[in-house]
Amino acid sequence: MNSRQSNSAASTRGASAEQELNPFGIAQRQLALAAELMGLDDTMHELLRWPMREFHVRIPVKLNDGTTKVFEGFRVQYNNARGPTKGGIRFHPDETFDTIRAMAAWMTWRCALVDIPLGGSMGGVVCNPKELSFDELERLSRGYVRALGHYVGPKVDVSGTDVYTNPQVMAWMMDEYSSMVGYNAPGVTTGKPLPLGGSHGRLDAAAVGAAYCIREAAEILDLDLSQATVAIQGYGNAGQYAHKLVAEKCGARVVAVSDSQGGVYCPDGLDMEQVAGHKRSTGSVASYAGGDRITNAELLTLDVDVLIPAAMEGVLRADNADAVKAKIVAELADGPSTPEADVILFDRGVYVIPDFLCNAGAVTVSYFEQVQNAYGFYWDADLIYERLDQKMTSAFHGVQEVAQRYNIHHRVAAYLIAVARVAEACRLRGWV
């Protein structure tokens, strides 16, 4: 294995803008770099660089005005060598098949990295849920399950919440699947409401897991989080919980937040309840009067200690990574950094907590929910967080040890661990 990947990865700087920002292209390039460093044989690499199964469906939904609209839906089951596949469902107007493929790949590596017995999958529907009524959203959710219900299940492929889906959507999907199979099957989805077999700790799990990682990274860097400043790009569920946790649990000062319409900056700190309340009432944080308005691009380059990208993929790229001033980049979103940005940030000494480690709290608690559904006994919140802390801290230090040993950045270190575990399962099954 090479002692440093900067030179071997430097050629990625020449990628075209389209190549750089294609999510699945990014996922494949990340895997290729890890495969080269670990000496993965060509046949195994070819097996792992593509999904094992893909579904492309059409979902007719009767709207409230009496017309019928046909929606485009996806499901990608990437690899199930380590167990049933697991992954969220996105409802988004700009959803693409390559995004879903990338998310399924990253979920495969995420599950392996935190060492839970699951593979990776992902689903999506091209729609704007903000334009759908409550009843139309229910019909769309149930239609998605009818289209794919024969190819998923608690022992096959389990769905969960993601962008613009929520516990109510999971409840509808679980109920539709249960109707199809003729018995109650709570384990077919995770992120459900508690009365229907949901788990304590699921709503804030991604942010809690990220907070554990930030805590460990700050200790390594000798950074006092009680004096630290934080900027959060993306102020949905995960971003809001991240704001609450780093402020209350770490004592850090969140000085900037943003969403798709823009952001707000206040060097004295932003109060989570006030900012979140403003977003609920207006639809955005951008017009919050308690600070100066900034753009998303400006937020990424603020002089802060911790930057948390919690929005969409591809926001840190070759054209802006040089301007990042944060000491820690905690990737709460999936795929926020391109391979070009990885090289630049690593060379500049920025401590990047890679996405499929940083946001692994969500799938870890989803796994806990699956376990609880399977044997019908449910844990209290304290036990959930205790076990989540153990999983996240163990995975974090595993990545840190490999990164230090080979002088490589943390994403490649995470890949080396995860890919080795998936490849081992493939070999033991006799697939390669």
Q: Are 301 and 391 contained in the same domain?
A: yes
Residue recorded with tokens 């670990």: 38
Cα–Cα distance list, 117 to 43, 111, 162, 361, 363 (Å): 23, 7, 21, 15, 11
Q: Are 41 and 65 contained in the same domain?
A: no
Do the beta carbons of residue 194 and residue 200 sit within 8 Å? Answer: yes
Instruction: Inform me whether the pLDDT recorded for 10 exceeds 80.
Output: no
Domain end position, chosen among 172, 196, 220: 196
Instruction: Inform me whether the pLDDT recorded for 289 exceeds 90.
Output: yes
Residue recorded with tokens 């207006």: 282
CB atoms inside a 10 Å sphere around CB 71: 18
What percent of the chain lies above the pLDDT cut of 70?
95
Taking alpha carbons only, the member of 187, 199, 232 closest to residue 381 is 199
Domain harbouring 99, CATH code:
3.40.50.10860
Residue 249: predicted pLDDT: 87
Average of per-residue pLDDT values in the chain: 94
Q: Are 32 and 164 contained in the same domain?
A: no
Do the beta carbons of residue 357 and residue 401 sit within 8 Å? Answer: no
Tokens encoding 240: 């809001």
Which residues 6+ apart lie within 8 Å of 343 measured at CB? Answer: 6, 9, 10, 12, 13, 409
Once rounded to an integer, what is the mean pLDDT over residues 359-363? Answer: 97
Strand partners, 74: 56, 124
Q: Are 287 and 254 contained in the same domain?
A: yes
Instruction: Inform me whether the pLDDT recorded for 22 exceeds 60.
Output: yes
Q: Are 362 and 222 contained in the same domain?
A: yes
Residue 17: predicted pLDDT: 54
DSSP characters over 382-401: HHHHHHHHHHHHHHHHHHHH
The predicted-structure confidence for 134-181, as pLDDT tens digits, reads as follows: 999 999 999 999 999 999 999 999 999 998 999 999 999 999 999 999
Domain end position, chosen among 196, 222, 240: 196
Q: Are 87 and 5 contained in the same domain?
A: no
- Name the residue type at position 54: E
Instruction: Inform me whether the pLDDT recorded for 338 exceeds 50.
Output: yes
Do the beta carbons of residue 109 and residue 48 sit within 8 Å? Answer: no
Boundaries of domain holding 94 = 52-196
The predicted-structure confidence for 194-237, as pLDDT tens digits, reads as follows: 999 999 999 999 999 999 999 999 999 999 999 999 999 999 98
Please tell me the pTM assigned to this model.
0.92
Domain harbouring 382, CATH code:
3.40.50.720
The H or E element containing residue 243 is helix 237-248
Domain end position, chosen among 175, 196, 217: 196
Q: Are 336 and 238 contained in the same domain?
A: yes
Residue 21: predicted pLDDT: 75
**How far is it, in rounded angstroms, from Cα 123 to Cα 204?**
21
Report the b/e string of 280-307 with b at 16+ CB within 10 A.
eeeebbbebeebeebebebbbbbebbbb
Once rounded to an integer, what is the mean pLDDT over residues 292-319? Answer: 95
Q: Are 90 and 27 contained in the same domain?
A: no
The H or E element containing residue 161 is strand 157-161
Q: Are 419 and 395 contained in the same domain?
A: yes
Report the b/e string of 107-125 with b at 16+ CB within 10 A.
bbbbbbbbebebbbbbbbb
Under DSSP, the state recorded for 53 is E
* Domain count for the chain: 2
Q: Are 124 and 190 contained in the same domain?
A: yes
Q: Are 297 and 421 contained in the same domain?
A: yes
Q: Are 279 and 356 contained in the same domain?
A: yes
